[in-house]
Amino acid sequence: MRPTAAGAPIVLFLAAFALGGIAEPAAAQPASRSNEIPQSLRVEHDDTLNQLTALARRPGPVGVEAQKALVLYKRHLQREEEFILPPLTLLPQLADGKASADMKWAIAMAERVKAEREQIFQEHTQISDAMNALATAAQKAHDTAALDFAHTAVADSLNDIELLEPMAIVVGEFLKVKLSGQ
């Protein structure tokens, strides 16, 4: 989920500070680091977990619904970080036309994304349903922060379905074509 506009500079500053300065871009990382995800998504995931955890601590229906959503989000986050997002670390290199045999790990991950696409979609549906329940509880409680978070979370889930997961598949397909002659 994306931080609110007012919180974005603070989150980015804190991320840079926590990392000891601005990290090198993904293109500078060795391609064999298949357990990594793009830094921007790491910051986003951490922010989402922090916000959802804080909401889950609230008393009443908002806290209850946030706790349910947190369980679903953590399970999906594990899947994303295991095999959906690591291929995206290669995008800067691929955009520069660089493809090498040490990137083959991303093909297997992309194939897994393809194979599990329906299950991934169902997880997003469950997360969206949980966020809708959180939004309903937030409206009843007049909790604008929780309501804003729920709306942002649904938009982020849609972003995953429309962009991030297809991009992971495209990375794999691109590498298959580029590396077929090697």
Rounded CA-CA distance 174/37 in Å is 19
Task: Please give the structure tokens belonging to residue 64.
Answer: 């209850």
Rounded CA-CA distance 24/15 in Å is 13
Counted residue by residue, the chain has a size of: 182
Q: What is the distance of C-alpha 85 from the center of its chain?
A: 7
pTM of the model: 0.79
* 10-residue averages of pLDDT along the chain (182 residues): 41 36 38 73 94 96 98 95 96 95 96 96 96 97 97 94 96 95 70
pLDDT at 135: 97
Rounded CA-CA distance 46/88 in Å is 18
pLDDT at 181: 74
pLDDT at 33: 54
pLDDT at 18: 38
Tell the residue number behind the tokens 């959180």, with chain if given: 134
